[in-house]
Amino acid sequence: MKRTHFILFSLFVFILTGCSDDRFERIDPHQSFVASVNIIEPSITFFDQSANEIALWPLEKAYTGAILVGKDAILLYGHQLKDADLYELSTGKLLKEISTGLGVTNAYFDAQTEKIFITNSKTNELTSYTMKGELQHTVKLHNYPMSMLVSDGKLYVINYKDTILSVISTETMAILDEWVIPKSSHGLVIPTGRDELWVGGHGEGNSPNKTVDIYAQSTGEKIKEILMPLMPVGFSQRDDEIAVVSHGENILYVVNTDGIIEWQLEIGANPFAVAHFKDSLVVAGYDDHSIYFINNRRIQKKVHTEKGPFHLLVREG
């Protein structure tokens, strides 16, 4: 082999290996973070509890959501993508490509059973995987399954374009129950120690939703509703405090488990997500591309993210 050929060949190999390296910036396994999943130009921004940016993962695929899987993995999915990708946080490496098919609406990780649940709007199915991404079960649900929450071995799934909430066994994937709820419901929370399931939502057609509806967890009967205009869709619970974000009015409500609003704060521009992180409440403003850190009922910090923060992921060590 001539010398020039060897150089060219080496360069070619170098470029190929360079291209195939889909590794992201490593995240220290002991680092606590809140990460915003930005979807207008897909990326993930990681912040520490002082609201400093730890890392930025620019994403090349049109991911629309992400969840943490255990302590050291993140699953990225997209409504228009055929695969969901499982990355290891400590190395930034791709662990597994899970073939989901088009139409993934949401993913949920249950730490107790170590299962990943994925809902699909094209097939209207719920599929379970191991935390390594191995396919386990598939069950047919109703129109557009999306919001999910696990409690006491039961997976609650809202069928977004339907009036049915499905209750599924996380072990057997059997459908245990189906409740009647309003159409376009979204967002779930179960207050600790109460036989309640709170359901938020957008509302249907021209009439936006103004309430969080409360159902008896054991029976599925509607018990009451709390007025939280407009469009309460994001929930986060810690101890006796439940944070609800109403994206229609840009308001963060903080209520106790009795459903009594303790305080409220106008925040962000078109926020969809709220999360508890350390001693802060974090709200993501979709339109203003900002993350707000709230302490003592006041905005302590506002930091900019990439465009369109839509989900918040929290890991606390």
Using CB under 8 A as the criterion, which residues of the chain lie in contact with another protein when the complex forms? 39, 64, 79, 121, 144, 160-161, 184, 186, 202-203, 205-206, 208, 230-231, 247-250, 268-270, 285, 287-288, 290, 308, 310
Question: What are the tokens at 106?
Answer: 């949401």
Closest approach of another protein to the CB of residue 4, in Å: 50
Residue 294 phi, psi dihedral angles, 5° rounding: -115, 125
Q: Smallest distance, Å, CB 150 to another protein?
A: 22
The CA distance from 299 to 208, in Å, is 27
Comparing CB distances to another protein, the nearer of 64 and 124 is 64
Closest approach, Cβ 62 to another protein, in A, equals: 11
Kindly tell me the burial class for residue 96, based on how many C-beta atoms sit within 10 Å of its own C-beta (0-12, 13-18, 19 or more): middle
Q: Find the DSSP H helices in the chain.
A: 3-20
Q: Judge contact between 270 and 286, C-beta under 8 A.
A: yes
Long-range contacts of 18-23 (CB under 8 A, 24+ apart): 22/93, 22/94, 23/91, 23/92, 23/93, 23/94
Euclidean distance between CA atoms 15 and 89, whole angstroms:
25
Q: Which is nearer to another protein, 106 or 170 (CB)?
A: 106
Q: Which is nearer to another protein, 153 or 208 (CB)?
A: 208
What is the closest distance, in whole angstroms, from the C-beta atom of residue 121 to another protein in the complex? 7
CB of 123 to another protein, least distance (A): 15
* Contact between residue 259 and residue 214 where contact means Cβ atoms under 8 Å apart: yes
Q: Which is nearer to another protein, 4 or 206 (CB)?
A: 206
- In the complex with another protein, the residue whose CB is nearer, 43 or 217, is 43
